[in-house]
Amino acid sequence: MDVVKEHQRRRVVKRTTCRCRDCGGRTTPRSLPAPYERSKVTCDWLAWLVMTKFSMLTPLERTRRDLKERGVPMAMSTLVSFIERAADLLAPIDGLHWQQLLASSWMATDGTGLKVLIPGLPAAHDGYLELYRNLTCAVFQYEATKASDALAGKLQRFCGTLTADAEHRLNVVYAHRYQVLRAIREEEKNKAVNEGREVGASCGGEGIFERGRRCSRPEELLK
Sketch the domain layout of the chain as residue ranges: 32-103
Sequence letter at residue 180 = V
pLDDT digits (tens, 9 = 90+) for 2-50: 888 778 888 888 888 888 888 888 888 888 888 988 888 999 999 999 9
Strand 125-133 to strand 106-116: parallel, antiparallel, or no bridges (unpaired)?
antiparallel
Largest CA distance in the chain: 100
Report, as an integer, the average pLDDT of 153-180. Answer: 74
Sign of CA dihedral 74, 77, 80, 85: negative
Quickly state the pLDDT bin for 86 (edges 50, 70, 90). Answer: very high
Residue 80: other Cβ atoms inside 10 A? 11
pLDDT recorded at residue 65: 95
pLDDT at 205: 52
Distance CA 176, CA 183 (A): 11
pLDDT for res 182: 65
**Calpha distance 152→173 (Å, rounded):** 5
